[in-house]
Structure 1
Amino acid sequence: MTFDPVLTIISLLIAMAGSFCGLMVAGTIRTSWSPAVGGALVGLSIATMHYTGMLAYVAQGTVEWT
Protein backbone atom coordinates (compact mmCIF):
# COMPACT_ATOMS: atom_id res chain seq x y z
CA MET A 1 0.00 0.00 0.00
CA THR A 2 1.14 3.50 -0.77
CA PHE A 3 -0.13 7.06 -0.64
CA ASP A 4 -0.44 9.34 -3.66
CA PRO A 5 1.95 12.20 -2.82
CA VAL A 6 -0.02 14.89 -4.66
CA LEU A 7 -3.30 14.10 -2.90
CA THR A 8 -1.49 13.81 0.42
CA ILE A 9 0.00 17.30 0.03
CA ILE A 10 -3.38 18.68 -1.09
CA SER A 11 -4.89 17.14 2.03
CA LEU A 12 -2.32 18.92 4.19
CA LEU A 13 -2.91 22.24 2.44
CA ILE A 14 -6.68 21.92 2.90
CA ALA A 15 -6.24 21.38 6.64
CA MET A 16 -3.83 24.27 6.99
CA ALA A 17 -5.86 26.77 4.94
CA GLY A 18 -9.20 25.81 6.46
CA SER A 19 -7.88 25.93 10.01
CA PHE A 20 -6.25 29.30 9.37
CA CYS A 21 -9.46 30.75 7.91
CA GLY A 22 -11.58 29.36 10.74
CA LEU A 23 -9.27 30.69 13.42
CA MET A 24 -9.10 34.08 11.73
CA VAL A 25 -12.90 34.31 11.58
CA ALA A 26 -13.28 33.22 15.20
CA GLY A 27 -10.50 35.45 16.49
CA THR A 28 -10.78 38.70 14.55
CA ILE A 29 -14.47 39.26 13.82
CA ARG A 30 -16.24 40.48 16.96
CA THR A 31 -19.80 39.21 16.61
CA SER A 32 -21.84 36.65 18.49
CA TRP A 33 -21.77 34.20 15.57
CA SER A 34 -18.06 34.34 14.67
CA PRO A 35 -16.91 31.54 17.03
CA ALA A 36 -19.58 29.21 15.63
CA VAL A 37 -18.72 30.02 12.02
CA GLY A 38 -14.99 29.73 12.72
CA GLY A 39 -15.51 26.36 14.38
CA ALA A 40 -17.63 25.17 11.47
CA LEU A 41 -14.90 26.19 9.02
CA VAL A 42 -12.26 24.30 11.00
CA GLY A 43 -14.52 21.24 11.25
CA LEU A 44 -15.33 21.27 7.53
CA SER A 45 -11.68 21.64 6.61
CA ILE A 46 -10.69 18.69 8.84
CA ALA A 47 -13.47 16.54 7.35
CA THR A 48 -12.43 17.51 3.81
CA MET A 49 -8.79 16.82 4.68
CA HIS A 50 -9.74 13.37 5.94
CA TYR A 51 -11.65 12.40 2.81
CA THR A 52 -8.93 13.77 0.55
CA GLY A 53 -6.34 11.81 2.52
CA MET A 54 -8.39 8.64 2.15
CA LEU A 55 -8.51 9.20 -1.61
CA ALA A 56 -4.71 9.25 -1.52
CA TYR A 57 -4.66 5.69 -0.13
CA VAL A 58 -3.56 3.35 -2.93
CA ALA A 59 -3.60 -0.43 -2.50
CA GLN A 60 -3.39 -3.37 -4.86
CA GLY A 61 -6.77 -4.96 -5.38
CA THR A 62 -10.11 -3.59 -4.25
CA VAL A 63 -10.40 -1.42 -1.16
CA GLU A 64 -13.71 -1.79 0.68
CA TRP A 65 -14.35 0.54 3.61
CA THR A 66 -16.87 -0.79 6.15
Structure 2
Amino acid sequence: MRSRRPDLTFATWRKSSYSNSDGGDCVEVSDDFAGIVPVRDSKCPQGPAVVFGASAWTAFVRDVR
Protein backbone atom coordinates (compact mmCIF):
# COMPACT_ATOMS: atom_id res chain seq x y z
CA MET A 1 0.00 0.00 0.00
CA ARG A 2 1.35 3.39 -0.99
CA SER A 3 0.88 6.35 1.27
CA ARG A 4 -0.33 9.68 -0.05
CA ARG A 5 2.28 12.14 -1.20
CA PRO A 6 2.58 15.03 1.28
CA ASP A 7 1.64 18.56 0.25
CA LEU A 8 5.01 20.33 0.03
CA THR A 9 3.54 23.73 -0.91
CA PHE A 10 4.53 25.36 2.37
CA ALA A 11 7.62 23.30 3.15
CA THR A 12 10.62 25.13 4.54
CA TRP A 13 13.69 24.09 2.58
CA ARG A 14 17.33 24.26 3.65
CA LYS A 15 20.42 23.59 1.63
CA SER A 16 22.04 20.33 2.61
CA SER A 17 25.40 20.63 4.33
CA TYR A 18 26.67 18.19 1.68
CA SER A 19 26.01 20.64 -1.18
CA ASN A 20 29.01 22.56 -2.38
CA SER A 21 29.27 26.34 -2.02
CA ASP A 22 29.81 27.29 -5.69
CA GLY A 23 26.19 26.73 -6.73
CA GLY A 24 26.55 23.19 -8.04
CA ASP A 25 25.24 19.98 -6.52
CA CYS A 26 22.58 21.87 -4.55
CA VAL A 27 20.39 19.49 -2.64
CA GLU A 28 17.70 20.90 -0.37
CA VAL A 29 15.82 19.04 2.34
CA SER A 30 12.81 19.89 4.47
CA ASP A 31 12.57 19.08 8.17
CA ASP A 32 8.87 20.00 8.39
CA PHE A 33 7.39 16.51 8.20
CA ALA A 34 7.44 13.84 10.87
CA GLY A 35 8.69 10.50 9.60
CA ILE A 36 9.65 11.62 6.09
CA VAL A 37 12.37 13.73 4.45
CA PRO A 38 11.52 15.51 1.18
CA VAL A 39 14.58 16.22 -0.99
CA ARG A 40 14.77 18.45 -4.08
CA ASP A 41 17.23 20.08 -6.47
CA SER A 42 17.57 23.76 -5.50
CA LYS A 43 18.30 24.68 -9.12
CA CYS A 44 14.77 23.51 -9.98
CA PRO A 45 12.62 24.37 -6.93
CA GLN A 46 9.33 23.98 -8.81
CA GLY A 47 10.37 20.54 -10.01
CA PRO A 48 9.66 17.26 -8.29
CA ALA A 49 10.86 16.29 -4.85
CA VAL A 50 11.83 12.80 -3.79
CA VAL A 51 10.36 11.78 -0.44
CA PHE A 52 12.29 9.33 1.73
CA GLY A 53 11.20 7.65 4.92
CA ALA A 54 13.18 9.15 7.81
CA SER A 55 15.00 5.88 8.55
CA ALA A 56 15.92 5.42 4.87
CA TRP A 57 17.28 8.98 4.72
CA THR A 58 19.28 8.47 7.91
CA ALA A 59 20.77 5.26 6.51
CA PHE A 60 21.60 6.98 3.20
CA VAL A 61 23.39 9.89 4.91
CA ARG A 62 25.25 7.51 7.22
CA ASP A 63 26.41 5.34 4.32
CA VAL A 64 27.50 8.33 2.21
CA ARG A 65 29.68 9.62 5.01
Q: Same fold (TM over 0.5)?
A: no
Q: Please say which structure displays the higher CA radius of gyration.
A: 1
Question: More relative contact order in 1 or in 2 (CA 8 Å, sep 6+)?
Answer: 1
Normalising TM by the smaller chain, what interval?
under 0.3
Which is helix-richer, 1 or 2? 1
> By percentage of residues, which structure has more strand?
2
